[in-house]
Amino acid sequence: MTASEQDFLNNPLGTKTTLEDVLDAFEFLDDWEERYAYIIDLGKQLPSFPDDARTEENYVHGCQSQVWLIHYFDEASGKLYLLIDSDAMIVRGLAAIILVALNGKAPRELLTTDIDELFEQLDLFRHISPTRGNGLRAMVGKIRDIAAAEAA
């Protein structure tokens, strides 16, 4: 299966599911179990990832789980669309949060979004901190590189 333009545009994360939705939901989550159950659910919203895109070029070098990332820049709207895949459920959920914040945005707008601040707000900063080798930081770095290239 190869990713079509439509696969990118249909990604609900950052379009149908907004950052406000996620922030609101977090307000009502009492303990870590509820928070992670929600994160795992968000991960299940990641659209299926095309098999033929699991290439070295699209691989995000993290530490433990495997992460792939592809993008599509929609010239008509000037917006950048992303698809992410991982074999670890929590990484999928955290990637979904990143997509909710960054997917379907104009590259320049994307570059002004502070993911560290968002993760701090959600009390998930440790997952994206430089000491945690789970690839999330590399994932965000790769997205920002793509946005910078498109914005240039």
Partner 1 sequence: MTDLSVANTANQPAFDVDSIRRDFPILSQQVNGKPLVYLDNGASAQKPAAVLDAMDRYYREMHSNVHRGAHTLGDRATAAFEGARETVRSFLNAESTREIIWTRGTTEAINLVANGLAPRLRAGDEILVTHMEHHANIVPWQMVAERTGAKVVPIQVTPAGELDLDSFHSLLNDRTRVLALTHVSNVLGTVNPVMELVGEAKKRGVLTLLDGAQAVPHYQPDVQALDCDFYVFSSHKLFGPTGIGVLYGKAELLEAMPPYQGGGEMIERVSFERTTWNVLPYKFEAGTPAIAEAVGLGAAIDYLGRLDRQAMEAAESALLARANDLVATVPGMEIIGTAAKKVPVMSFKIAGLHPSDIGTLLDQQGIAIRTGHHCAMPLMDFYGVPGTARASFAFYNTLDEVEQLFTALQKIQRLFA
Residues that bind partner 1 (CB under 8 A): 32-33, 36-37, 40, 63-66, 87-91, 127, 134
Between 19 and 90, name the residue whose CB sits nearer to partner 1: 90
Between 16 and 126, name the residue whose CB sits nearer to partner 1: 126
- Rounded Cα distance, 9 and 19, in Å: 17
What Rg, from alpha-carbon coordinates, does the chain have? Answer: 14
Question: CB of 105: closest distance to partner 1 in angstroms?
Answer: 28
Contact predicate 91/65, CB 8 Å? yes
- Rounded Cα distance, 37 and 138, in Å: 24
Amino acid identity, residue 27? E
Between 39 and 53, name the residue whose CB sits nearer to partner 1: 39
Running DSSP on this structure, what letter comes out for residue 145? Answer: H
- Rounded Cα distance, 56 and 54, in Å: 7
Between 94 and 147, name the residue whose CB sits nearer to partner 1: 94
Question: CB of 26: closest distance to partner 1 in angstroms?
Answer: 15
Q: How far is CA 132 from CA 10, 17, 126, in A?
A: 31, 27, 7
Choose, from 20, 30, 63, 130, the residue flagged as catalytic.
63
Question: CB of 87: closest distance to partner 1 in angstroms?
Answer: 6
Question: CB of 148: closest distance to partner 1 in angstroms?
Answer: 29
Return the beta strands (E) in 3-150 as ranges: 59-60, 67-74, 79-86
- Known active-site residue 63: yes
Residues catalogued as catalytic = 63
